[in-house]
């Protein structure tokens, strides 16, 4: 268990006793004044020079662990993001009339940082997240940072929180960049102000199953995305509508929901939190990104790695009926990684797939993880090291 309550108790006690300060310095970056938030203030008195934060590193799950710093940058409608800064992690202030709260004007990203044995900090393809965030922001009528601004902000945030990056082999630091319409807007329209924000949390496995195979349920009542909608980008509005199906599936003992296309209710789309792949012999197929499916960065990387391993990879239409012939099924995503699927239940029939040692998904998983963690040579230029 993560020692969250103990840490909070300590933070809140520290807050009450802490003198107010207007700025502090870390990793060469000057931090903003943080007098407005109890948590921000509380963080100032924790020991940030420790190599590792005081966490139960052996039992990380995928839950929010507040860390020391976050990154914030604002701009007005019609302008560009210019200057961002780190500030102590804590609550932010939003008008009740903000665009994001009222009309869901927001988009997010997810990526991870890893710590090597020698203390080096690695990012995986951060430019791809920057590009995807730009696409998402554009779809949601929001400005976005440039690729360089985005990657620089990511590096600053990870470096400032480096004691929260799990020891090698224990997990990763999940990085959550967000853009939201933070300005007030009463009638439907684009907000007058935007906030780009990055926060982080140390994480382990996404699913409670850990690395055990997932059991998916094919959802037929609810759709994840529709043609012309936002399914192909990481709009915040894509996720809450799936909670009903997800909760129902979990209550029935399934790990997650597999969605079908909303037009024919026949073709595989994606799982609530990840993309899906189907393996038959030497052939690997995955639904094509045609506007309703998220262009996952792990998806794209696994396609490249699989081709390097000699598999024939095809992006196209996969009907739910074809699953019956599959040898293996697996999911990919930043949070999820590469997760084997043990079974898929469709219209009361449970189809089972090969999992475990000697599977294609395991081979691809090991290669991807080894690249991300700097354990094998990165021949593709995917890894970005953070200068310390």
User: Which residues are at the interface with ligand COI (CB under 6 A)?
Assistant: 110, 273, 333-336
Q: Which is nearer to ligand COI, 95 or 135 (CB)?
A: 135
169: Cα within 13 Å, side-chain hemisphere: 3
Q: Which is nearer to ligand COI, 26 or 130 (CB)?
A: 130
Helix (H, G, I), strand (E, B) or coil at 46: coil
Q: Which is nearer to ligand COI, 43 or 236 (CB)?
A: 236
CB of 234 to ligand COI, least distance (A): 7
CA distance linking residue 364 with residue 359, whole number of Å: 9
Q: Tokens 């021949």, residue?
A: 379
Burial group, residue 384, by CB count within 10 angstroms (0-12, 13-18, 19+): middle
Q: Which is nearer to ligand COI, 218 or 274 (CB)?
A: 274
Q: Which residues contact 267 (CB under 8 A, 6 or more apart)?
A: 260, 261, 287, 317, 318, 319, 320
Question: Of the listed 40, 134, 162, 234, which one is catalytic?
Answer: 234
Q: Which residues contact 127 (CB under 8 A, 6 or more apart)?
A: 147, 151, 384
At CA 92, angle to CA 387 and CA 17, rounded to 5? 85
Residue with the shortest CB distance to ligand COI: 110
Q: Is residue 379 flagged as an active site residue? A: no
Q: Tokens 């407005």, residue?
A: 36
CB of 127 to ligand COI, least distance (A): 16
Q: Which is nearer to ligand COI, 157 or 334 (CB)?
A: 334
Q: Which is nearer to ligand COI, 158 or 336 (CB)?
A: 336
Q: Which is nearer to ligand COI, 142 or 185 (CB)?
A: 142
CB of 230 to ligand COI, least distance (A): 14
CB of 147 to ligand COI, least distance (A): 19
CB of 31 to ligand COI, least distance (A): 27
Region of 171 (left: φ > 0; alpha: ψ -120 to 50; beta: rest) is left
CB of 271 to ligand COI, least distance (A): 10
Reading the block at residue 243, the tokens are: 């909670």
Q: What is the CB neighbour count within 10 angstroms for residue 23?
A: 10
At CA 205, angle to CA 215 and CA 212, rounded to 5? 35
Sign of the dihedral through C-alpha 280, 284, 286, 290: negative
Secondary element (H or E) of residue 383 = strand 383-386
CA distance linking residue 103 with residue 54, whole number of Å: 39
- Residues designated as active site: 234
């Amino acid at each position: 268990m993560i020692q969250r309550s103990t840490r909070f108790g300590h933070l809140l006690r520290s807050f009450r006793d802490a003198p107010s300060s207007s700025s502090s310095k870390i990793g060469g970056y000057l931090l903003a004044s943080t007098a407005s938030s109890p948590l921000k203030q509380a963080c100032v008195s924790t020991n940030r020079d420790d190599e590792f934060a005081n966490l139960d590193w052996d039992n990380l799950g995928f839950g929010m662990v507040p860390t020391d710093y976050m990154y914030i940058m604002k701009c007005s409608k019609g302008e560009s993001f210019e200057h961002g800064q780190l500030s102590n992690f804590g609550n932010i202030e939003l008008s009740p009339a903000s665009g994001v709260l009222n009309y869901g004007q927001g988009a997010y990203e997810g990526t991870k940082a890893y710590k090597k044995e020698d203390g080096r900090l690695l990012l995986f393809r951060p430019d791809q997240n920057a590009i995807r965030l730009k696409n998402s922001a554009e779809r949601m009528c929001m400005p976005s940072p440039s690729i360089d601004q985005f990657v620089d902000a990511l590096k600053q945030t990870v470096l400032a929180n480096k004691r929260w990056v799990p020891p090698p082999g224990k997990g990763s630091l999940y990085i959550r960049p967000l853009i939201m319409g933070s300005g007030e807007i009463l009638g439907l329209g684009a907000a007058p102000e935007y906030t780009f924000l990055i926060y982080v949390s140390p994480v382990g496995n996404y699913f409670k199953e850990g690395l055990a195979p997932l059991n998916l349920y094919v959802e037929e009542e609810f759709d994840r995305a529709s043609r012309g909608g936002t399914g192909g980008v990481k709009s915040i509005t894509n996720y809450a509508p799936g909670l009903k199906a997800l909760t129902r599936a979990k209550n029935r003992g399934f790990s997650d929901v597999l969605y079908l296309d909303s037009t024919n209710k026949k073709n595989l789309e994606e799982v609530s939190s990840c993309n899906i792949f189907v393996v038959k012999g030497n052939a690997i197929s995955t639904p094509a990104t045609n506007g309703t499916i998220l262009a996952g960065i792990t998806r794209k990387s696994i396609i490249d790695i699989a081709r390097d391993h000699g598999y024939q990879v095809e992006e196209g239409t996969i009907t739910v009926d074809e699953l019956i012939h599959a040898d293996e099924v697996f999911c990919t995503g930043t949070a999820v990684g590469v997760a084997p699927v043990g079974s898929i239940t469709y219209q009361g029939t449970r189809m089972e797939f090969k999992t475990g040692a000697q599977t294609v998904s395991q081979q691809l998983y090991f290669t991807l993880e080894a690249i991300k963690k700097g354990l094998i040579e990165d021949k593709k230029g995917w890894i970005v090291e953070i200068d310390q």
